[in-house]
Structure 1
Amino acid sequence: MALNFVLMLTEQDRTIPDAIDVYEKLSVDELRLIAFKDVGTDPHMAKDLTEAAHTDGRSVLLELADTSDAGQEAGCQLALDLGVDRVVGTWRPSAAAAFAGNDSIEYWPFAGAMSGSPLVLDSSPDELATQAQRLSATDGVAGVVLMPYRQTSYDPVLLMKRTASAANVPLLIAGGVRDAAQITDIAAAGAWGFTMGGAALAQRHDDPASVTQRVSEIMRLSRQASPDAS
Structure 2
Amino acid sequence: MDFIFMLTRDDRTVTDCLHVLDSVRGLGITHIGFKDVGVDPATLARLHEQIKELGATSHLEVVSTGREQALDSVRAAADLGVDWLMGGVWIEETLGLLDGTPVRYLPFAGEPQGHPTRLAGTPARIAEDCRRAEAAGCAGVDLLAHRATEADPLDLVRAARAATAGRLVVAGSLSSPEQIHALDAAGADAFTVGSAAFAGAVRPEAGSLAAQLTALVEASGGPR
Q: Give the alignment's TM-score, normalised by structure 1.
A: 0.89
Q: CA deviation at 1:127?
A: 0.7
**Structure 2 residue identity aligned to 1:159:** L
CA contact (8 A) 1:13 1:118 kept: yes
Letter in 2 for 1:44: A
Structure-2 residue corresponding to 1:148: 145
- State the alpha-carbon separation in 2 of the partners of residues 185 and 68 from structure 1: 32
- Contact 1:17 1:41 survives alignment (8 Å): yes
> What secondary structure sits across from 1:216 in the alignment?
helix
- 2:192 corresponds to: 195
2:121, 2:149 within 8 Å by CA — same for their partners in 1? no
The one of 114, 117, 121 aligned to 1:116:
114
AA matched with 1:52: Q
Whether contact under 8 Å (1:39, 1:64) holds in the other structure is: no
Q: Tell me which of the two structures has the higher relative contact order, counting C-alpha pairs closer than 8 angstroms and 6 or more residues apart.
A: 1
Q: Percent identity?
A: 32
Q: Partner letter of residue 26 of structure 1?
A: V
State the Cα distance separating 1:154 from its structure 2 match: 1.5
What corresponds to 1:95 in structure 2? 94
What SS does the aligned partner of 1:137 have?
Answer: helix
Structure 2 letter corresponding to 1:223: G
Q: Which deviates further from its counterpart, 192-201 or 152-161?
A: 152-161
Structure 1, residues 137-176: CA drift from partner, whole Å, max 9, x if none? 212x112010111024321111100111101211000010
Q: Is the 8 A contact 2:75 2:97 kept in 1?
A: no
SS in 2 for 1:67: coil
Residues in 2 aligned to 1:183 and 1:29: alpha-carbon distance in whole angstroms: 18
* The 10-residue stretch of structure 1 (85-94 or 169-178) with the greater mean CA deviation from structure 2: 85-94
Matches within 5 A, 1:1-230: 3-92=1-90, 93-102=92-101, 104-139=102-137, 141-203=138-200, 210-223=208-221
Unaligned runs of 5+ in 1: 204-208
Distance in 2 (CA, whole Å) between partners of 1:42 and 1:143 is: 29
User: C-alpha separation between the residues in 2 aligned to 1:105 and 1:81?
Assistant: 10
Give the superposition deviation at 1:91.
Answer: 1.7
State the TM-score, normalized to the length of structure 2: 0.91
Deviations 1:45-85 (A, max 9, x none): 11111001101101111111122222112111111111111
Runs of 4+ in 1 over 6 A off after TM superposition: none
Unaligned 5+ runs, structure 2: 201-206
Aligned to 1:206: none
| 2:97 partner letter | A
| Conserved? CA contact 1:5–1:222, under 8 Å | yes
Q: Which string of whole-angstrom CA distances, capped at 9 and with x for unpartnered residues, describes residues 98-134 of structure 1?
A: 32432x2111100011211111111001111111111
Report how many residues are paired. 216
**2:11/2:116 contact within 8 Å kept:** yes
User: For residue 150 of structure 1, what is the amino acid of its counterpart?
Assistant: R
